[in-house]
Structure 1
Protein backbone atom coordinates (compact mmCIF):
# COMPACT_ATOMS: atom_id res chain seq x y z
CA UNK A 1 0.00 0.00 0.00
CA UNK A 2 1.42 3.39 -1.05
CA UNK A 3 2.17 5.97 1.64
CA UNK A 4 1.46 9.58 0.67
CA UNK A 5 3.26 12.55 2.19
CA UNK A 6 3.71 16.28 1.59
CA UNK A 7 6.25 18.97 2.35
CA UNK A 8 7.85 22.14 1.05
CA UNK A 9 10.96 24.06 0.19
CA UNK A 10 10.65 26.81 2.79
CA UNK A 11 12.49 29.95 1.72
CA UNK A 12 13.17 33.51 2.85
CA UNK A 13 15.34 36.44 1.79
CA UNK A 14 18.06 37.54 4.23
CA UNK A 15 20.37 40.44 3.33
CA UNK A 16 19.26 40.16 -0.28
CA UNK A 17 20.07 36.44 -0.50
CA UNK A 18 17.61 33.57 -0.92
CA UNK A 19 17.96 30.96 1.80
CA UNK A 20 16.17 27.61 2.06
CA UNK A 21 15.46 25.56 5.15
CA UNK A 22 16.82 22.08 5.79
CA UNK A 23 16.06 20.00 8.84
CA UNK A 24 18.49 17.72 10.70
CA UNK A 25 16.42 14.73 11.76
CA UNK A 26 17.21 13.16 15.12
CA UNK A 27 16.35 9.50 14.63
CA UNK A 28 17.32 9.18 10.98
CA UNK A 29 20.51 11.25 11.43
CA UNK A 30 20.03 12.84 8.02
CA UNK A 31 19.41 16.24 6.43
CA UNK A 32 16.22 16.69 4.46
CA UNK A 33 13.33 18.92 3.49
CA UNK A 34 10.46 19.25 5.97
CA UNK A 35 7.68 16.82 5.11
CA UNK A 36 5.40 14.21 6.63
CA UNK A 37 2.75 11.58 6.03
CA UNK A 38 -0.87 12.36 5.26
CA UNK A 39 -3.12 11.79 8.27
CA UNK A 40 -6.51 10.10 7.76
CA UNK A 41 -9.00 12.56 6.28
CA UNK A 42 -6.33 15.05 5.18
CA UNK A 43 -5.58 16.41 1.72
CA UNK A 44 -2.02 16.98 0.53
CA UNK A 45 -1.82 20.82 0.85
CA UNK A 46 -3.22 20.54 4.38
CA UNK A 47 -0.59 17.93 5.25
CA UNK A 48 2.26 20.07 3.93
CA UNK A 49 1.28 23.08 6.05
CA UNK A 50 0.66 20.99 9.17
CA UNK A 51 3.92 19.04 8.90
CA UNK A 52 5.99 22.19 8.40
CA UNK A 53 4.40 23.70 11.50
CA UNK A 54 5.03 20.54 13.53
CA UNK A 55 8.63 20.02 12.39
CA UNK A 56 9.84 23.62 12.25
CA UNK A 57 7.38 25.71 14.27
CA UNK A 58 6.80 27.86 11.17
CA UNK A 59 3.37 28.84 9.93
CA UNK A 60 3.44 29.04 6.12
CA UNK A 61 1.19 29.22 3.09
CA UNK A 62 1.93 27.24 -0.04
CA UNK A 63 3.17 28.72 -3.28
CA UNK A 64 4.25 26.97 -6.45
CA UNK A 65 4.04 23.18 -6.69
CA UNK A 66 7.54 21.74 -7.11
CA UNK A 67 6.71 18.20 -8.11
CA UNK A 68 6.67 14.74 -6.62
CA UNK A 69 9.24 12.22 -5.45
CA UNK A 70 8.64 8.53 -4.96
CA UNK A 71 10.80 5.80 -3.48
CA UNK A 72 10.60 2.45 -1.75
CA UNK A 73 10.99 2.51 2.03
CA UNK A 74 12.90 -0.14 4.04
CA UNK A 75 9.56 -1.88 4.75
CA UNK A 76 9.14 -2.26 0.94
CA UNK A 77 6.19 0.15 0.76
CA UNK A 78 6.25 2.89 -1.83
CA UNK A 79 6.26 6.48 -0.56
CA UNK A 80 5.04 9.38 -2.73
CA UNK A 81 5.84 12.92 -1.53
CA UNK A 82 4.32 16.10 -3.00
CA UNK A 83 6.24 19.37 -2.56
CA UNK A 84 5.48 23.08 -2.83
CA UNK A 85 7.52 26.25 -2.38
CA UNK A 86 6.59 28.14 0.79
CA UNK A 87 7.76 31.66 1.57
CA UNK A 88 8.54 32.22 5.25
CA UNK A 89 7.84 35.71 6.52
CA UNK A 90 9.89 37.40 9.21
CA UNK A 91 6.77 37.35 11.40
CA UNK A 92 6.62 33.57 11.04
CA UNK A 93 10.30 33.24 11.96
CA UNK A 94 9.85 35.39 15.06
CA UNK A 95 6.71 33.45 16.06
CA UNK A 96 8.35 30.02 15.70
CA UNK A 97 8.29 27.91 18.85
CA UNK A 98 10.79 25.31 17.59
CA UNK A 99 13.10 23.58 20.06
CA UNK A 100 15.21 20.49 19.32
CA UNK A 101 13.15 17.36 19.89
CA UNK A 102 13.02 13.61 19.31
CA UNK A 103 12.12 14.13 15.64
CA UNK A 104 14.10 17.20 14.54
CA UNK A 105 17.48 18.02 16.11
CA UNK A 106 18.14 21.32 14.31
CA UNK A 107 17.01 23.73 11.60
CA UNK A 108 19.46 25.28 9.17
CA UNK A 109 18.98 28.10 6.66
CA UNK A 110 21.41 28.14 3.74
CA UNK A 111 21.76 29.13 0.07
CA UNK A 112 20.44 26.59 -2.44
CA UNK A 113 23.97 25.82 -3.68
CA UNK A 114 25.06 24.78 -0.21
CA UNK A 115 21.79 22.97 0.45
CA UNK A 116 22.35 20.84 -2.64
CA UNK A 117 25.65 19.61 -1.23
CA UNK A 118 24.32 19.20 2.31
CA UNK A 119 21.07 17.34 1.73
CA UNK A 120 21.15 13.59 2.27
CA UNK A 121 18.97 12.39 -0.59
CA UNK A 122 19.25 12.87 -4.33
CA UNK A 123 15.45 12.93 -4.64
CA UNK A 124 15.29 15.95 -2.31
CA UNK A 125 18.06 17.62 -4.29
CA UNK A 126 15.93 17.32 -7.45
CA UNK A 127 13.14 19.27 -5.73
CA UNK A 128 15.66 21.96 -4.72
CA UNK A 129 16.84 22.17 -8.32
CA UNK A 130 13.28 22.78 -9.49
CA UNK A 131 12.97 25.57 -6.94
CA UNK A 132 16.26 27.07 -8.17
CA UNK A 133 15.00 26.92 -11.76
CA UNK A 134 12.07 29.17 -10.84
CA UNK A 135 14.46 31.56 -9.08
CA UNK A 136 16.70 31.61 -12.16
CA UNK A 137 13.65 32.52 -14.26
CA UNK A 138 12.99 35.52 -12.01
CA UNK A 139 10.03 33.90 -10.27
CA UNK A 140 10.07 34.14 -6.50
CA UNK A 141 7.06 35.60 -4.71
CA UNK A 142 3.76 34.39 -6.14
CA UNK A 143 0.05 34.72 -5.58
CA UNK A 144 -2.86 32.60 -6.75
CA UNK A 145 -6.33 32.87 -8.18
CA UNK A 146 -8.34 29.90 -6.93
CA UNK A 147 -11.36 28.92 -9.04
CA UNK A 148 -13.79 26.98 -6.84
CA UNK A 149 -16.92 25.18 -8.01
CA UNK A 150 -19.81 25.13 -5.57
CA UNK A 151 -20.50 21.92 -3.68
CA UNK A 152 -23.37 19.49 -4.37
CA UNK A 153 -26.68 21.35 -4.61
CA UNK A 154 -30.28 20.16 -4.81
CA UNK A 155 -30.94 19.33 -8.49
CA UNK A 156 -32.97 21.87 -10.44
CA UNK A 157 -35.66 19.29 -11.21
CA UNK A 158 -36.17 18.69 -7.47
CA UNK A 159 -36.39 22.37 -6.55
CA UNK A 160 -39.43 24.61 -6.93
CA UNK A 161 -38.04 28.12 -7.07
CA UNK A 162 -35.44 30.36 -8.67
CA UNK A 163 -32.32 28.52 -9.75
CA UNK A 164 -30.14 30.97 -7.80
CA UNK A 165 -31.97 29.98 -4.61
CA UNK A 166 -31.11 26.28 -4.81
CA UNK A 167 -29.31 25.27 -1.58
CA UNK A 168 -26.64 22.67 -0.95
CA UNK A 169 -27.58 19.13 -0.04
CA UNK A 170 -26.32 17.55 3.18
CA UNK A 171 -23.49 16.08 1.12
CA UNK A 172 -22.76 19.53 -0.26
CA UNK A 173 -22.65 21.08 3.20
CA UNK A 174 -20.14 18.38 4.23
CA UNK A 175 -18.04 19.08 1.10
CA UNK A 176 -18.02 22.81 1.90
CA UNK A 177 -16.54 22.05 5.32
CA UNK A 178 -14.14 19.42 3.99
CA UNK A 179 -12.38 21.75 1.53
CA UNK A 180 -11.52 24.36 4.18
CA UNK A 181 -8.07 23.07 5.31
CA UNK A 182 -6.82 22.33 1.81
CA UNK A 183 -7.90 25.58 0.19
CA UNK A 184 -6.77 27.59 3.24
CA UNK A 185 -3.24 26.17 2.86
CA UNK A 186 -2.70 28.58 -0.06
CA UNK A 187 -3.36 31.62 2.14
CA UNK A 188 -6.32 33.32 0.41
CA UNK A 189 -6.99 36.86 1.61
CA UNK A 190 -9.84 37.77 -0.77
CA UNK A 191 -13.11 35.83 -1.11
CA UNK A 192 -15.55 36.40 -3.97
CA UNK A 193 -18.73 34.43 -4.62
CA UNK A 194 -21.53 34.24 -7.13
CA UNK A 195 -24.77 35.58 -5.68
CA UNK A 196 -26.31 32.10 -6.01
CA UNK A 197 -27.08 30.55 -2.61
CA UNK A 198 -25.19 27.34 -3.41
CA UNK A 199 -21.98 29.30 -3.96
CA UNK A 200 -22.46 31.41 -0.84
CA UNK A 201 -23.01 28.27 1.24
CA UNK A 202 -19.90 26.64 -0.26
CA UNK A 203 -17.51 29.45 0.60
CA UNK A 204 -19.06 30.26 4.01
CA UNK A 205 -17.07 27.70 6.09
CA UNK A 206 -13.80 28.92 4.53
CA UNK A 207 -14.72 32.54 5.27
CA UNK A 208 -15.51 31.63 8.87
CA UNK A 209 -12.26 29.70 9.32
CA UNK A 210 -10.16 32.53 7.88
CA UNK A 211 -12.13 35.35 9.50
CA UNK A 212 -12.66 37.01 6.11
CA UNK A 213 -15.72 38.65 4.53
CA UNK A 214 -17.22 37.35 1.30
CA UNK A 215 -18.13 39.82 -1.43
CA UNK A 216 -21.02 38.55 -3.54
CA UNK A 217 -21.20 39.47 -7.22
CA UNK A 218 -23.52 38.72 -10.14
CA UNK A 219 -20.52 39.09 -12.45
CA UNK A 220 -19.57 35.42 -11.97
CA UNK A 221 -23.09 34.02 -11.48
CA UNK A 222 -24.55 31.38 -13.78
CA UNK A 223 -27.68 33.42 -14.44
CA UNK A 224 -25.63 36.40 -15.64
CA UNK A 225 -23.34 34.16 -17.67
CA UNK A 226 -26.28 32.55 -19.44
CA UNK A 227 -28.14 35.81 -20.16
CA UNK A 228 -25.00 37.62 -21.31
CA UNK A 229 -24.70 40.15 -18.48
CA UNK A 230 -21.71 38.66 -16.64
CA UNK A 231 -18.48 40.64 -16.32
CA UNK A 232 -15.86 37.97 -15.68
CA UNK A 233 -13.12 40.01 -17.34
CA UNK A 234 -13.41 42.89 -14.85
CA UNK A 235 -13.43 40.56 -11.84
CA UNK A 236 -10.37 38.64 -13.06
CA UNK A 237 -8.51 41.78 -14.17
CA UNK A 238 -8.90 43.32 -10.73
CA UNK A 239 -7.63 40.21 -9.02
CA UNK A 240 -4.55 40.10 -11.25
CA UNK A 241 -3.83 43.79 -10.59
CA UNK A 242 -4.19 43.41 -6.81
CA UNK A 243 -1.72 40.48 -6.71
CA UNK A 244 -3.31 38.89 -3.64
CA UNK A 245 -4.45 35.28 -3.41
CA UNK A 246 -8.20 35.14 -4.01
CA UNK A 247 -10.95 32.53 -4.21
CA UNK A 248 -13.63 32.94 -6.88
CA UNK A 249 -16.53 30.60 -6.09
CA UNK A 250 -18.70 30.03 -9.15
CA UNK A 251 -20.48 27.49 -11.35
CA UNK A 252 -19.57 24.65 -13.70
CA UNK A 253 -20.38 26.54 -16.92
CA UNK A 254 -18.65 29.74 -15.72
CA UNK A 255 -15.36 28.37 -14.39
CA UNK A 256 -13.73 27.56 -17.77
CA UNK A 257 -14.40 31.16 -18.81
CA UNK A 258 -12.82 32.41 -15.56
CA UNK A 259 -9.75 30.31 -16.33
CA UNK A 260 -9.66 31.61 -19.92
CA UNK A 261 -9.83 35.22 -18.70
CA UNK A 262 -6.94 34.63 -16.28
CA UNK A 263 -4.92 33.32 -19.22
CA UNK A 264 -5.80 36.35 -21.34
CA UNK A 265 -5.15 38.82 -18.50
CA UNK A 266 -1.66 37.41 -17.99
CA UNK A 267 -0.61 37.00 -21.61
CA UNK A 268 -0.62 33.22 -21.33
CA UNK A 269 -0.45 31.31 -24.59
CA UNK A 270 -3.04 28.63 -25.40
CA UNK A 271 -5.89 30.04 -23.25
CA UNK A 272 -8.18 27.24 -24.47
CA UNK A 273 -5.92 24.67 -22.79
CA UNK A 274 -6.03 26.64 -19.53
CA UNK A 275 -9.83 26.90 -19.79
CA UNK A 276 -10.10 23.12 -19.62
CA UNK A 277 -8.68 23.21 -16.08
CA UNK A 278 -11.98 24.86 -15.14
CA UNK A 279 -13.89 21.65 -15.87
CA UNK A 280 -14.29 20.75 -12.21
CA UNK A 281 -16.51 18.38 -10.23
CA UNK A 282 -18.61 19.86 -7.45
CA UNK A 283 -16.42 21.19 -4.60
CA UNK A 284 -13.33 20.94 -6.81
CA UNK A 285 -10.92 23.84 -7.17
CA UNK A 286 -8.07 24.87 -9.44
CA UNK A 287 -5.16 26.97 -8.13
CA UNK A 288 -3.61 29.27 -10.76
CA UNK A 289 -0.16 30.49 -9.68
CA UNK A 290 1.09 33.89 -10.88
CA UNK A 291 4.23 35.96 -10.29
CA UNK A 292 3.81 38.97 -7.97
CA UNK A 293 6.64 40.81 -9.68
CA UNK A 294 5.52 40.03 -13.23
CA UNK A 295 1.89 38.87 -13.34
CA UNK A 296 1.76 39.69 -17.04
CA UNK A 297 4.44 37.11 -17.78
CA UNK A 298 1.88 34.32 -17.89
CA UNK A 299 0.51 31.58 -15.70
CA UNK A 300 3.38 29.77 -13.96
CA UNK A 301 1.58 26.67 -12.77
CA UNK A 302 -1.90 25.18 -12.45
CA UNK A 303 -2.95 22.53 -9.95
CA UNK A 304 -6.38 21.02 -9.37
CA UNK A 305 -7.80 19.46 -6.21
CA UNK A 306 -11.02 17.47 -6.06
CA UNK A 307 -12.87 15.97 -3.10
CA UNK A 308 -12.26 12.31 -2.27
Structure 2
Protein backbone atom coordinates (compact mmCIF):
# COMPACT_ATOMS: atom_id res chain seq x y z
CA UNK A 1 0.00 0.00 0.00
CA UNK A 2 1.45 3.36 -1.01
CA UNK A 3 1.54 6.31 1.41
CA UNK A 4 -1.10 8.01 -0.78
CA UNK A 5 -3.57 5.13 -0.40
CA UNK A 6 -5.85 5.66 2.61
CA UNK A 7 -6.13 2.87 5.13
CA UNK A 8 -9.77 1.80 5.18
CA UNK A 9 -11.61 0.66 8.28
CA UNK A 10 -15.20 0.20 9.39
CA UNK A 11 -17.11 0.17 12.65
CA UNK A 12 -20.41 0.99 14.26
CA UNK A 13 -22.05 3.14 16.85
CA UNK A 14 -23.66 0.34 18.85
CA UNK A 15 -26.56 1.46 20.99
CA UNK A 16 -29.26 0.09 23.24
CA UNK A 17 -32.20 1.44 25.19
CA UNK A 18 -32.46 0.73 28.91
CA UNK A 19 -35.50 1.98 30.83
CA UNK A 20 -36.10 4.64 28.21
CA UNK A 21 -32.51 5.89 28.14
CA UNK A 22 -30.28 5.51 25.09
CA UNK A 23 -26.81 4.14 25.84
CA UNK A 24 -23.83 4.17 23.46
CA UNK A 25 -21.03 1.59 23.54
CA UNK A 26 -17.40 2.69 23.87
CA UNK A 27 -14.38 0.41 23.98
CA UNK A 28 -11.17 0.96 25.91
CA UNK A 29 -8.25 -0.40 23.94
CA UNK A 30 -5.77 -2.47 25.92
CA UNK A 31 -2.56 -0.97 24.52
CA UNK A 32 -3.59 2.64 23.93
CA UNK A 33 -5.93 2.97 26.95
CA UNK A 34 -8.15 5.30 24.95
CA UNK A 35 -11.93 5.30 24.61
CA UNK A 36 -13.47 5.10 21.16
CA UNK A 37 -16.20 3.61 19.03
CA UNK A 38 -15.46 -0.01 18.03
CA UNK A 39 -13.91 -0.39 14.58
CA UNK A 40 -11.21 -2.27 12.68
CA UNK A 41 -9.22 -2.44 9.47
CA UNK A 42 -10.53 -3.87 6.24
CA UNK A 43 -9.20 -7.34 5.41
CA UNK A 44 -8.14 -8.18 1.83
CA UNK A 45 -11.14 -9.17 -0.29
CA UNK A 46 -13.60 -7.90 2.32
CA UNK A 47 -16.31 -5.30 1.87
CA UNK A 48 -16.74 -2.44 4.33
CA UNK A 49 -20.07 -3.88 5.45
CA UNK A 50 -18.50 -7.25 6.25
CA UNK A 51 -15.69 -5.50 8.05
CA UNK A 52 -18.00 -3.48 10.30
CA UNK A 53 -20.02 -6.51 11.40
CA UNK A 54 -16.94 -8.71 11.85
CA UNK A 55 -14.95 -6.16 13.82
CA UNK A 56 -17.79 -5.42 16.22
CA UNK A 57 -18.22 -9.11 16.96
CA UNK A 58 -14.48 -9.67 17.35
CA UNK A 59 -14.00 -6.67 19.64
CA UNK A 60 -17.17 -6.86 21.72
CA UNK A 61 -18.71 -10.30 21.15
CA UNK A 62 -21.92 -8.65 19.96
CA UNK A 63 -23.59 -9.79 16.74
CA UNK A 64 -25.02 -6.68 15.18
CA UNK A 65 -27.35 -5.74 12.36
CA UNK A 66 -26.23 -2.65 10.48
CA UNK A 67 -28.69 0.22 10.31
CA UNK A 68 -28.27 3.57 8.58
CA UNK A 69 -24.75 4.86 7.90
CA UNK A 70 -23.32 7.66 10.02
CA UNK A 71 -20.66 8.82 7.60
CA UNK A 72 -16.89 8.65 7.94
CA UNK A 73 -14.06 9.79 10.14
CA UNK A 74 -10.86 10.80 8.38
CA UNK A 75 -7.54 11.47 10.08
CA UNK A 76 -3.79 11.03 9.64
CA UNK A 77 -1.89 8.20 11.28
CA UNK A 78 1.53 8.64 12.93
CA UNK A 79 3.19 7.02 9.89
CA UNK A 80 1.76 9.73 7.63
CA UNK A 81 -0.97 7.67 5.99
CA UNK A 82 -4.56 8.85 5.93
CA UNK A 83 -7.17 6.63 7.55
CA UNK A 84 -10.85 6.61 6.61
CA UNK A 85 -13.32 4.85 8.92
CA UNK A 86 -16.89 4.15 7.79
CA UNK A 87 -19.55 3.93 10.49
CA UNK A 88 -23.07 2.59 10.74
CA UNK A 89 -25.44 2.64 13.67
CA UNK A 90 -26.50 -0.70 15.18
CA UNK A 91 -29.17 -1.32 17.79
CA UNK A 92 -28.73 -4.32 20.09
CA UNK A 93 -31.26 -5.70 22.54
CA UNK A 94 -30.76 -6.92 26.08
CA UNK A 95 -30.90 -10.54 24.97
CA UNK A 96 -27.87 -10.04 22.73
CA UNK A 97 -25.99 -8.19 25.46
CA UNK A 98 -26.68 -11.04 27.88
CA UNK A 99 -25.67 -13.63 25.28
CA UNK A 100 -22.22 -12.14 24.79
CA UNK A 101 -20.56 -11.48 28.18
CA UNK A 102 -17.33 -9.58 27.57
CA UNK A 103 -13.91 -10.74 28.71
CA UNK A 104 -10.86 -8.44 28.48
CA UNK A 105 -8.33 -9.44 25.82
CA UNK A 106 -5.14 -8.27 24.14
CA UNK A 107 -7.06 -5.77 22.04
CA UNK A 108 -9.97 -4.51 24.18
CA UNK A 109 -9.69 -3.96 27.92
CA UNK A 110 -13.23 -2.86 28.74
CA UNK A 111 -16.67 -2.12 27.27
CA UNK A 112 -18.57 0.86 28.65
CA UNK A 113 -22.22 1.75 28.01
CA UNK A 114 -22.86 5.46 28.52
CA UNK A 115 -25.65 7.99 27.93
CA UNK A 116 -24.98 10.15 24.90
CA UNK A 117 -23.62 13.21 26.71
CA UNK A 118 -21.37 11.09 28.89
CA UNK A 119 -20.19 9.14 25.85
CA UNK A 120 -19.21 12.35 24.05
CA UNK A 121 -17.29 13.49 27.14
CA UNK A 122 -15.52 10.12 27.46
CA UNK A 123 -14.42 9.83 23.81
CA UNK A 124 -10.70 10.36 23.49
CA UNK A 125 -10.91 11.57 19.89
CA UNK A 126 -12.94 14.41 18.45
CA UNK A 127 -13.78 12.44 15.31
CA UNK A 128 -15.64 9.89 17.46
CA UNK A 129 -17.58 12.71 19.09
CA UNK A 130 -18.75 13.84 15.65
CA UNK A 131 -20.12 10.39 14.88
CA UNK A 132 -22.01 10.32 18.20
CA UNK A 133 -23.41 13.77 17.43
CA UNK A 134 -24.71 12.60 14.05
CA UNK A 135 -26.51 9.76 15.77
CA UNK A 136 -27.85 12.18 18.39
CA UNK A 137 -29.35 14.34 15.62
CA UNK A 138 -31.00 11.30 14.07
CA UNK A 139 -32.35 10.25 17.46
CA UNK A 140 -33.81 13.73 18.03
CA UNK A 141 -35.54 13.56 14.64
CA UNK A 142 -37.21 10.27 15.59
CA UNK A 143 -35.25 8.25 13.04
CA UNK A 144 -32.84 6.25 15.21
CA UNK A 145 -34.38 2.92 14.24
CA UNK A 146 -34.26 2.09 10.56
CA UNK A 147 -34.79 -0.83 8.23
CA UNK A 148 -33.32 -1.42 4.75
CA UNK A 149 -34.82 -1.75 1.29
CA UNK A 150 -32.03 -3.04 -0.97
CA UNK A 151 -32.12 -2.58 -4.76
CA UNK A 152 -29.67 -5.11 -6.21
CA UNK A 153 -28.65 -5.42 -9.85
CA UNK A 154 -27.84 -8.98 -10.90
CA UNK A 155 -24.21 -10.03 -11.26
CA UNK A 156 -22.34 -10.44 -14.55
CA UNK A 157 -24.18 -12.83 -16.89
CA UNK A 158 -23.43 -14.55 -20.18
CA UNK A 159 -23.32 -12.21 -23.16
CA UNK A 160 -26.80 -11.47 -24.49
CA UNK A 161 -25.63 -11.32 -28.11
CA UNK A 162 -23.88 -14.70 -28.16
CA UNK A 163 -26.34 -16.57 -25.91
CA UNK A 164 -28.45 -18.90 -28.02
CA UNK A 165 -31.27 -19.53 -25.56
CA UNK A 166 -33.98 -17.27 -24.19
CA UNK A 167 -32.68 -14.15 -22.47
CA UNK A 168 -34.16 -15.21 -19.13
CA UNK A 169 -32.02 -18.38 -19.19
CA UNK A 170 -28.68 -16.57 -19.37
CA UNK A 171 -26.58 -17.78 -16.40
CA UNK A 172 -23.92 -15.95 -14.43
CA UNK A 173 -20.39 -16.09 -15.70
CA UNK A 174 -17.52 -17.15 -13.45
CA UNK A 175 -16.99 -13.47 -12.72
CA UNK A 176 -20.67 -13.08 -11.89
CA UNK A 177 -20.52 -16.00 -9.46
CA UNK A 178 -17.56 -14.38 -7.69
CA UNK A 179 -19.48 -11.11 -7.52
CA UNK A 180 -22.55 -12.84 -6.04
CA UNK A 181 -20.40 -14.48 -3.38
CA UNK A 182 -18.65 -11.19 -2.63
CA UNK A 183 -21.81 -9.20 -1.88
CA UNK A 184 -23.67 -11.84 0.13
CA UNK A 185 -22.11 -11.17 3.54
CA UNK A 186 -22.43 -7.41 3.18
CA UNK A 187 -26.13 -7.49 2.34
CA UNK A 188 -26.71 -10.07 5.08
CA UNK A 189 -25.18 -7.63 7.59
CA UNK A 190 -28.31 -5.47 7.20
CA UNK A 191 -30.48 -8.30 8.50
CA UNK A 192 -33.03 -8.46 5.66
CA UNK A 193 -36.22 -10.40 6.31
CA UNK A 194 -37.27 -11.05 2.73
CA UNK A 195 -35.56 -11.61 -0.63
CA UNK A 196 -37.51 -10.99 -3.85
CA UNK A 197 -35.92 -11.61 -7.24
CA UNK A 198 -36.74 -11.48 -10.91
CA UNK A 199 -37.36 -14.99 -12.17
CA UNK A 200 -34.55 -14.60 -14.74
CA UNK A 201 -31.85 -17.17 -14.03
CA UNK A 202 -29.10 -14.57 -13.61
CA UNK A 203 -31.08 -12.83 -10.86
CA UNK A 204 -31.96 -16.07 -9.08
CA UNK A 205 -28.30 -17.11 -9.15
CA UNK A 206 -27.19 -13.70 -7.86
CA UNK A 207 -29.20 -14.01 -4.63
CA UNK A 208 -28.38 -17.70 -4.08
CA UNK A 209 -25.30 -17.04 -1.86
CA UNK A 210 -27.28 -14.46 0.13
CA UNK A 211 -30.13 -16.94 0.60
CA UNK A 212 -27.69 -19.58 1.80
CA UNK A 213 -26.09 -17.19 4.26
CA UNK A 214 -29.36 -15.83 5.69
CA UNK A 215 -31.55 -18.93 5.43
CA UNK A 216 -34.20 -16.85 3.64
CA UNK A 217 -35.89 -18.57 0.69
CA UNK A 218 -36.04 -16.07 -2.20
CA UNK A 219 -39.33 -15.40 -3.94
CA UNK A 220 -38.80 -15.41 -7.71
CA UNK A 221 -41.40 -13.47 -9.67
CA UNK A 222 -41.91 -12.16 -13.19
CA UNK A 223 -43.34 -8.98 -11.65
CA UNK A 224 -39.90 -7.41 -11.34
CA UNK A 225 -38.39 -8.90 -14.50
CA UNK A 226 -37.43 -6.67 -17.43
CA UNK A 227 -39.36 -9.15 -19.58
CA UNK A 228 -42.57 -8.74 -17.62
CA UNK A 229 -45.60 -8.59 -19.89
CA UNK A 230 -47.04 -5.78 -17.78
CA UNK A 231 -45.65 -2.50 -16.48
CA UNK A 232 -43.81 -3.43 -13.25
CA UNK A 233 -44.32 -0.07 -11.58
CA UNK A 234 -47.71 -0.82 -10.04
CA UNK A 235 -46.49 -4.16 -8.66
CA UNK A 236 -43.36 -2.54 -7.23
CA UNK A 237 -45.30 0.29 -5.62
CA UNK A 238 -47.62 -2.23 -3.95
CA UNK A 239 -44.85 -4.62 -2.84
CA UNK A 240 -42.53 -1.93 -1.52
CA UNK A 241 -45.37 0.02 0.03
CA UNK A 242 -46.30 -3.08 2.03
CA UNK A 243 -42.67 -3.64 3.10
CA UNK A 244 -42.47 -0.04 4.35
CA UNK A 245 -45.75 -0.26 6.23
CA UNK A 246 -44.65 -3.48 7.91
CA UNK A 247 -41.13 -2.10 8.61
CA UNK A 248 -39.72 -5.17 6.86
CA UNK A 249 -36.17 -5.20 5.50
CA UNK A 250 -36.34 -6.41 1.90
CA UNK A 251 -33.87 -7.19 -0.89
CA UNK A 252 -35.09 -6.86 -4.48
CA UNK A 253 -32.81 -8.22 -7.21
CA UNK A 254 -33.56 -7.19 -10.77
CA UNK A 255 -32.24 -5.74 -14.03
CA UNK A 256 -30.74 -2.36 -14.94
CA UNK A 257 -34.01 -0.95 -16.42
CA UNK A 258 -36.00 -1.97 -13.31
CA UNK A 259 -33.63 -0.68 -10.61
CA UNK A 260 -34.74 2.98 -11.03
CA UNK A 261 -38.35 1.86 -10.60
CA UNK A 262 -37.44 0.09 -7.34
CA UNK A 263 -35.67 3.18 -6.02
CA UNK A 264 -38.57 5.42 -7.06
CA UNK A 265 -41.09 3.13 -5.35
CA UNK A 266 -39.12 3.33 -2.09
CA UNK A 267 -38.91 7.11 -2.35
CA UNK A 268 -42.67 7.32 -2.81
CA UNK A 269 -43.42 4.87 0.01
CA UNK A 270 -41.16 6.85 2.36
CA UNK A 271 -42.91 10.09 1.41
CA UNK A 272 -39.64 11.51 0.10
CA UNK A 273 -38.74 13.35 -3.09
CA UNK A 274 -36.88 12.16 -6.12
CA UNK A 275 -33.59 13.97 -6.62
CA UNK A 276 -30.25 13.80 -8.37
CA UNK A 277 -29.08 11.71 -5.43
CA UNK A 278 -31.82 9.10 -5.85
CA UNK A 279 -31.20 9.11 -9.59
CA UNK A 280 -27.49 8.37 -9.09
CA UNK A 281 -28.37 5.65 -6.61
CA UNK A 282 -30.35 3.81 -9.28
CA UNK A 283 -27.56 3.74 -11.88
CA UNK A 284 -25.91 0.47 -10.90
CA UNK A 285 -23.27 -1.73 -12.51
CA UNK A 286 -23.52 -5.51 -12.26
CA UNK A 287 -23.70 -6.78 -8.66
CA UNK A 288 -23.89 -3.28 -7.24
CA UNK A 289 -26.64 -2.51 -4.76
CA UNK A 290 -28.22 0.56 -3.26
CA UNK A 291 -29.53 0.47 0.30
CA UNK A 292 -32.36 2.85 1.13
CA UNK A 293 -32.70 3.18 4.88
CA UNK A 294 -36.24 3.95 5.97
CA UNK A 295 -37.18 5.18 9.43
CA UNK A 296 -39.01 2.69 11.61
CA UNK A 297 -40.42 5.58 13.63
CA UNK A 298 -43.99 6.81 13.74
CA UNK A 299 -43.86 8.09 10.17
CA UNK A 300 -41.82 6.61 7.31
CA UNK A 301 -38.93 8.76 6.13
CA UNK A 302 -35.93 8.18 3.92
CA UNK A 303 -33.06 8.49 6.39
CA UNK A 304 -30.04 7.58 4.25
CA UNK A 305 -28.97 6.13 0.91
CA UNK A 306 -25.75 4.26 0.19
CA UNK A 307 -24.43 2.26 -2.75
CA UNK A 308 -21.92 -0.59 -2.63
CA UNK A 309 -19.94 -2.67 -5.11
CA UNK A 310 -18.59 -6.20 -4.84
CA UNK A 311 -15.03 -6.58 -3.60
CA UNK A 312 -14.46 -9.24 -6.28
CA UNK A 313 -14.90 -8.73 -10.01
Query: TM-score under structure 1 normalisation?
Result: 0.96
Does the 8 Å contact 1:240/1:265 carry over to 2? yes
Q: Distance in 2 between matches of 1:162 and 1:261?
A: 29
1:161-214 deviations in Å (ceiling 9; x for gaps): 211111111111111111111111111121111111100000011101111111
Q: Distance in 2 between matches of 1:228 and 1:104?
A: 54
- Unpaired segments ≥5 residues, structure 2: none
Map of 2:188 onto structure 1: 184
Map of 1:228 onto structure 2: 231
Does the 8 Å contact 1:196/1:221 carry over to 2? yes
How many residue pairs get aligned? The number is: 306
Does the 8 Å contact 2:224/2:232 carry over to 1? no
Deviation of the 1:228 alpha carbon? 2.8
Q: Secondary structure at the match of 1:28?
A: coil
Give the one of 131, 134, 137 matched to 2:135: 131
Give the one of 299, 302, 306 matched to 2:305: 302
Does the 8 Å contact 1:260/1:272 carry over to 2? no
Q: Distance in 2 between matches of 1:229 and 1:125?
A: 45
1:16-65 deviations in Å (ceiling 9; x for gaps): 11000001111001111000000111111111110100110000011111
Map of 1:277 onto structure 2: 281
Query: TM-score under structure 2 normalisation?
Result: 0.94
Q: Distance in 1 between matches of 2:147 and 2:136?
A: 18
- Unpaired segments ≥5 residues, structure 1: none
Does the 8 Å contact 1:257/1:275 carry over to 2? no
Deviation of the 1:91 alpha carbon? 2.3
Q: Distance in 2 between matches of 1:259 and 1:125?
A: 32
Report which stretch shifted further, 190-199 or 88-97. Answer: 88-97
Map of 2:14 onto structure 1: 10
Give the one of 92, 107, 110 matched to 2:111: 107
Q: Secondary structure at the match of 2:137?
A: helix
Q: Distance in 2 between matches of 1:183 and 1:295?
A: 25
2:46 equivalent to 1:52: no
Alignment of 1:77-116 (within 5 A): 77-116=81-120
Q: Distance in 2 between matches of 1:237 and 1:219?
A: 15
